[in-house]
Chains A and B, each alone.
Chain A
């Protein structure tokens, strides 16, 4: 298990955790808000269907398409980069290597975290019974009071659970990193793959397997937290 004595490995692992946390939080908030926007529209209407279809696809089409999309936007000849060069030449947007830094990667990952959040959180929002809002109104509550005392407390466990799912999802998003060039040895999943299929010096299966173990442990802890949150929510669900 000396693998974690390597500063490179530790650094990679830490980066992995940081990106996952950032994208999970941003994705959860934006995705959650978007899910709310969907749910307050016409149920089964055009906007609803398109949003759900788009989310289903964007959550799954990882790796290749994602890379192309973002290279086309922020890469060397990208849409936004070229526009930025013209109008905002001194900002980071004009620099096409921005995408390869931590921020760029976070923006990239968040792109599929948002649809995933919508897919995971939408059913929860739809289970928020209209009677609760109406009861609160009838009892004299204003909108913010409803959200403060009822809406948010009820949604929080599911929201946290969804955010946890986003966290683990990001953590394991290797496909994206692989396609972006010049990114080797940056993230832990990548090191494993390198260790497995390395062309330079033969595979090191032992290192690969112990890194896997460390990742699985992190994942199991997070899933355990998720299970606890689910149990709390199900206590409130009314039995039919």
Chain B
């Protein structure tokens, strides 16, 4: 962790009675980086975000933005742009007036014309120029969130804070909008903190993803690394699908599915363990002499997910590119083997 990061969260703690919302969270965000905070409900990710925004008081810790300690600064002085989950647009103002609000507050710095130009520019950026004079109740959920984004960006914030901005939207709108948020963020180079409980969302747009649990950061890494090399069982299971397969660990390897693979750092080093195997790590070929049968197959477009019944009665989920899965329907006899990729092994029981 470099001490010259643009945003530094140092040992943040916040307790609500016995509940530890934040329990020693430390995090650095580089300038222009998009970091996603991922975790289940109650893990503290929103508390962390709101603390950075100044909307939540901390019990302990320090926050530094662009070299300046903002820990005790009022929310309205921090210059952060915040996008809330829902209901944050001012209902009595049009989209344009909403976007201009932050600028209006700084009226001594910007003239009316400049404000108009800026709001037009931002509404164009989020693709809502034609709706500039509409009121929030006339806009769809996705459109409202775009206006909220434009409003937050209008003040050229030091940091953009997004609090589960897509959670209240339809699935299709969600995927569309998250791509747009990323595109805009890259274009403007804004340092961004994005909070979500949807791991697909986090993995698809972030530069780095931090997985949180019980007020602490379990692991923070680039999406691929988080997926391929989880540090803990929690991260392995929270991010992506896993097959729990029992086996014996010795000498940095575990024997499962008739093969031997290396264990990842953080796994147990000996004894009985449960390997958390990714579906793509399981290879399936049709074979009359195989040791397993296909139970069911799900066609997902580019890939196919197969539920396979093994000889010992257990079931695993494998994932193959669709062309490789042709002919593998329910009841087909197959041979199952393991690709040579390291797995995380947690303790049994």
Do chains A and B directly touch (beta carbons under 8 Å) in the complex? yes
A residues contacting B by CB (< 8 A) are 129, 131-132, 134-142, 145, 149-150, 153-154, 235-239
Supposing A140-B106, A141-B105, A237-B137 touch, asked if A134 and B55 sit within 8 A by C-beta, the answer is yes
B271 in contact (CB, < 8 A) = no
B136 sits at the interface (CB 8 A): yes
Inter-chain contacts of B78 with A (CB < 8 A): 138
Q: Does B79 contact A (CB under 8 A)?
A: yes
Check A135/B79 contact, CB under 8 A, given A235-B135, A236-B135: no
Say which one of B87-95, B244-252, B285-293, B309-317 lies at the interface with A.
B87-95
The listed residue (A129, A137, A142, A150) touching B55 by CB distance below 8 A is: A137
Given known pairs A150-B90, A237-B137, the reply for A138 and B105 (CB within 8 Å) is no
Q: B105 and A139: CB pair below 8 A?
A: yes
How close is A113's CB to chain B, nearest CB, in angstroms?
27
A129 to B144 CA separation, bound complex (whole angstroms): 16
B81 / chain A contacts, CB cutoff of 8 Å: 138-139
Nearest-neighbour CB distance to chain A for B268, whole angstroms, equals 45
- Scan residues 65-98 of chain B and give those whose CB is less than 8 A from a CB of chain A: 74-82, 84, 86-92
Interface size band for B: 20 to 34
Using known A-B contacts A131-B84, A134-B55, determine if residue A239 contacts B137 with beta carbons closer than 8 Å: yes
Chain A residues with Cβ below 8 Å from B86 are: 131
Beyond A138-B76, A236-B91, 11 extra complex contacts between A and B, CB < 8 Å? A129-B87, A132-B90, A134-B55, A134-B88, A135-B151, A137-B54, A137-B75, A139-B151, A142-B76, A145-B105, A154-B91
Instruction: Determine the distance from Cα of A152 to Cα of B88 in the docked complex, in whole angstroms.
Output: 16
For the complex formed, measure the closest distance between the CB of A132 and the CB atoms of chain B, giving whole angstroms.
6
CA gap between A132 and B98 in the complex, in Å: 11
A235 to B137, Cβ gap below 8 A? yes
Supply 30 A–B pairs (Cβ within 8 Å), ascending by A: A131-B86, A134-B53, A134-B75, A134-B82, A134-B84, A135-B89, A135-B151, A136-B101, A137-B55, A137-B74, A137-B75, A137-B76, A138-B80, A138-B81, A138-B152, A139-B76, A139-B151, A140-B76, A140-B102, A140-B155, A141-B101, A141-B102, A141-B105, A145-B105, A150-B90, A150-B92, A153-B92, A237-B91, A238-B87, A239-B137
CB of A66, distance to nearest CB on chain B (Å): 38
Q: Is the interface of A mostly helix, strand, loop or mixed?
A: helix
* Nearest CB in chain B: distance from A161 CB, A: 15
In the bound complex, what is the Cα–Cα distance between A149 and B86 (angstroms)? Answer: 20
Q: Assess whether A154 is in contact with B82, with CB atoms less than 8 Å apart.
A: no
Q: Which chain B residue lies CB-closest to A232?
A: B92
In the complex, what residues of A have CB within 8 A of residue B105's CB? 139-141, 145
Complex interface: chain A residues within 8 A of B137 (CB): 235-239
* CB-defined contacts of A154 to chain B, threshold 8 Å: 90-92
Q: Nearest residue in A to B74 (C-beta to C-beta)?
A: A137
Residues of A within 8 A of B104 (CB): 149
Residues in chain A near residue B88, CB distance under 8 A: 129, 131-132, 134-135
Docked CA distance A4–B78 (Å): 65
The docked-state distance in angstroms from the alpha carbon of A134 to that of B53 is 9
CB-CB under 8 A for A138 and B91, given A145-B105, A237-B137, A238-B136: no
Q: Which residues of A contact B102 (CB under 8 A)?
A: 139-141
A150 partner residues in chain B, CB cutoff 8 A:
90, 92
Tell me the smallest distance from the CB of B8 to a CB of chain A, in Å.
Answer: 20
- Chain A nearest CB from B131 CB (Å) reads 16
Which residues of the other chain, A, contact B155 by a CB distance below 8 angstroms?
Answer: 139-140
Instruction: Assess whether B91 is in contact with A135, with CB atoms less than 8 Å apart.
Output: no
Question: Which residues on B sit within 8 Å (CB–CB) of A238?
Answer: 87, 91, 136-137
A236 and B93 alpha carbons, distance in the complex (Å): 9
Residues of B within 8 A of A132 (CB): 87-88, 90
Q: Which residues of B contact A134 (CB under 8 A)?
A: 53, 55, 75, 82, 84, 88
Inter-chain CA distance A224–B91, complex, in Å, is: 24
Q: Is the CB of B82 within 8 A of A135?
A: yes
Enumerate chain A residues within 8 angstroms of B101, measured Cβ to Cβ: 136, 139, 141, 149
**Residues of B contacting A239 with CB < 8 Å?**
137
Determine whether the beta carbon of B82 is less than 8 Å from that of A138.
Answer: yes
